[in-house]
């Protein structure tokens, strides 16, 4: 394996890590309005001390499940983008030109989500928190959908001319295959988030999350299977059946585990299913990085878009020393915040009573 193949593999691994980790972040953000509503009670699941009537406490409990880790998960995207820029500058330039509007919307969504998460607890006002919840929702739904659309278009190929310029408009990106890719990531992240909430919460919230995950699992399996089979038959080859089958088996395990209410196994299965799906996309893409629909001679490949051997060598040495530190830190943060969260553990709000500065 040469350095070009090595860095193609590294970028694939970084995006796999990003979608697996940030995937449940997006799922939690998308599900917060639904699982954060007041529990109606009236059954024997509710412990006497559990506060089920306060929807804000449920939403804060939901948000606290990702509070210690969501920003660390985004490091994978920053690292993947940086590696893409440094190792394959031509790929980066053409892709960001073609996907300018989708990537801009993703960026706006991510920024909105960051601000909403960080500022939600600063002001103790229901209207303020409602607007922040809207920001968290938009910042989760938009990237969850558009990432799938973007990656499906990368696999399908784009109208690229001899100068590696994208020659079509935005609506060319909204083809049936890409929309199916968007639906796949959207449903996969929803199920992944519901399973993560079931793994990280207790009491009624945990049971409601598991119940929702079991309802989402089968539609997710059906849509993901359609997308994977379309990908394999249209763009794959013999050996790319391997990641397809891994993703398919994991998706079936996800359905069984959610029906049996085994949240630990279900979370492992959704993680493998997402990893297998992303691995399939990169596998069918190789050795291209962005096929041309205009003429195969204009395909962008790892050979004609990579940086120099000297640059890749320096990047490799930097990755060898820095990557273990990043992975160790992230693993440690997950270990420290490994315990479950219940609604009754959520304290009273401590934010300011108003945006206005108090006067004497």
Q: What is the pLDDT of residues 52-78, one digit of tens each?
A: 557 888 888 999 999 888 888 888 998
**pTM (two decimals):** 0.91
Distance of CA 131 to the CA centre of its chain: 23
pLDDT of residue 269: 95
Q: What angle do CA 85, 90, 92 make, to 5 degrees?
A: 40
Report which DSSP code applies to 298.
G
pLDDT score for 39: 61
Burial (0-12, 13-18, 19+ Cβ within 10 Å), 172 = middle
| Closest alpha carbon to 274 in 8, 16, 75 | 16
CA distance 177 to 21: 25
pLDDT value of position 38: 64
What is the per-residue pLDDT across 163-217, written as a single tens digit (0 to 9) for each? 888 888 888 889 999 999 999 999 999 999 999 999 999 888 899 999 999 999 9
Query: What would the two tokens of residue 333 be?
Result: 């943060």
Q: What is the pLDDT of residue 126?
A: 84
CA 174 vs. chain centroid, Å, equals: 20
pLDDT at 234: 92
Residue numbers in the chain where pLDDT is lower than 50: 42
């Amino acid at each position: 394996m040469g350095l070009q193949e090595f860095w193609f593999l590294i970028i694939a691994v970084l995006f796999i890590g990003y979608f697996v980790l940030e995937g449940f972040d997006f799922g939690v953000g998308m599900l917060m309005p639904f699982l954060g509503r007041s529990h109606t009670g009236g059954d024997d699941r509710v412990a006497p001390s559990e506060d089920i009537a306060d929807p804000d406490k449920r939403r804060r409990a939901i948000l606290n499940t990702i509070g210690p880790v969501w920003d660390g998960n985004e490091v994978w995207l920053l690292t993947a983008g940086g590696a893409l820029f440094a190792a394959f500058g031509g790929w980066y330039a053409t892709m960001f030109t073609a996907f300018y509007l989708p990537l801009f919307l993703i960026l706006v969504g991510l920024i909105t989500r960051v601000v909403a998460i960080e500022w939600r607890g600063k002001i103790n006002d229901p209207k303020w928190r409602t607007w922040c919840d809207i920001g968290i929702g938009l910042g989760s739904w938009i990237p969850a959908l558009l990432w799938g659309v973007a990656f499906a278009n990368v696999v399908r190929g784009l109208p690229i001319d001899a100068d590696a310029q994208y020659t079509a408009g935005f609506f060319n990106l909204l083809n049936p295959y890409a929309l199916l890719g968007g639906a796949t990531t959207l449903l996969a992240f929803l199920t992944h988030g519901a399973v993560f909430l079931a793994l990280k919460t207790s009491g009624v919230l945990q049971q409601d999350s598991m119940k929702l995950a079991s309802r989402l699992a089968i539609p997710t399996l059906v849509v993901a299977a359609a997308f994977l089979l379309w990908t394999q038959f249209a763009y794959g080859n013999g050996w790319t059946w391997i990641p397809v089958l891994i993703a398919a088996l994991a998706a079936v395990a996800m359905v069984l585990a959610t029906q049996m209410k085994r949240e630990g196994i279900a979370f492992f299965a959704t993680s493998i299913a997402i990893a297998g799906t992303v691995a399939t996309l990169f596998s069918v893409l190789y050795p291209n990085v962005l096929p041309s629909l205009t003429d195969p001679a204009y395909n962008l490949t790892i050979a004609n878009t990579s940086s120099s051997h000297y640059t890749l060598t320096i990047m490799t040495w930097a990755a060898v020393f820095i990557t273990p530190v990043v992975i160790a830190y992230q693993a440690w943060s997950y270990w420290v915040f490994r315990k479950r969260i219940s609604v009754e553990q959520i304290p009273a709000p401590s934010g300011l009573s108003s945006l206005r500065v108090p006067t004497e």
